[in-house]
Amino acid sequence: MNKLFSRGLVAAIGSVMLTFGAGTAAAQAAQLVKTNYSLKSDASKTSAAPVGARQAAPVLSAVQRTITSTTNLFSSAVGSVFGTQSDPRQAELGRIAREGRWLHNAGWPLYALVDRYSAGVALDEQATCLATAVYFEARGESLDGQLAVARVVMNRAASDRYPPTWCEVMTQPWQFSFVNPHTGRIPAINYQSAAWAKAQGVARLAMANAVPTVPTDVLWYHADYVHPSWGRRLSYVDKIGAHIFYRA
């Protein structure tokens, strides 16, 4: 109870600070996230498990309502700056980077953040490829596992070991089991599903680097029910759900 009260008090104090610090927040928000649309994926994986039932949103407590109120205040304080950006996608990523990180530090769980950012400015081609990798590779995993997969894909693109764009890495032969290695064709996505909405939310959080996940040197993963020979040559980092993550 003390922790809950403290968190509510911090959020309430934060709202006052945001009111008086809107100018500072707006100035900082002008430095938007520069998204590197590169991605890499070396890990093969069999088809993901079916999507489970979507978790119902909990009834908001008084503390959660306070956090929501301060979130709206935060958005209002910096919204005018983000609205001036020429690229609405970059503007949105900038907002998510600032707002999402603030909400995470304020105690919002990952499922609430994913739900919040599951809709927004339409993803461009490269971001859609990132969400597609999450959808097919990890939609049966926890949201932490989905975020880790997205980060690995992005890490590889930045590593200079693989093709330089997320789409090229995703369709690289023999890297993802859902991609036909001969034609590069991808199965149909159910764009109306909760799984696709979540994949988009995860992709936006990953691109904005709003929530901590696996380190930037983690470039490989595989399902725990397979034992690829290359895994023995790498350094174990973590196991999240059914995936085991590695660095060189």
Q: What is the DSSP string of 32-83?
A: --------------PPPPPP-PPPPPPPP-HHHHHHHHHHHHHHHHHHHHHH
Residue-wise pLDDT tens digits, 133-143: 999 999 999 99
- Write out the DSSP string of 142-207: -HHHHHHHHHHHHHHHHTTSS-SSHHHHHTSTTT-TTS-TTT---PPP-TTSHHHHHHHHHHHHHH
Place of tokens 């980077």: 97
What number is the average pLDDT over the span 8-33? Answer: 38
pLDDT above 80 for 54: no
Confidence of residue 53 (pLDDT cuts 50, 70, 90): very low
pLDDT of 68: 52
Q: CA of 111: how far to CAs of 46, 94, 165, in Å?
A: 25, 20, 28
Q: Which of 58-67, 94-103, 186-195 has the lowest mean pLDDT?
A: 58-67
Query: What are the residues facing 222 on neighbouring strands?
Result: 244
**According to the per-residue pLDDT averaged within each range, which of 76-85, 155-164, 201-210 is highest?**
201-210
Place of tokens 């909400």: 103
Q: Which residues contact 191 (CB under 8 A, 6 or more apart)?
A: none
pLDDT of 64: 53
Q: Which candidate, 187, 96, 226, 131, places its Cα nearest to that of 139?
A: 131
Angle between helices 88-105 and 62-83 (to 10 degrees): 150
pTM: 0.68
Q: CA of 195: how far to CAs of 118, 174, 185, in Å?
A: 10, 24, 20
Q: What are phi and psi of 21, to 5 degrees?
A: -110, 20
What number is the average pLDDT over the span 99-126? Answer: 96
pLDDT of 206: 97
pLDDT above 70 for 12: no
Task: State the DSSP code for 243.
Answer: E
pLDDT of 7: 44
Percent of the chain whose predicted confidence (pLDDT) is above 90: 53
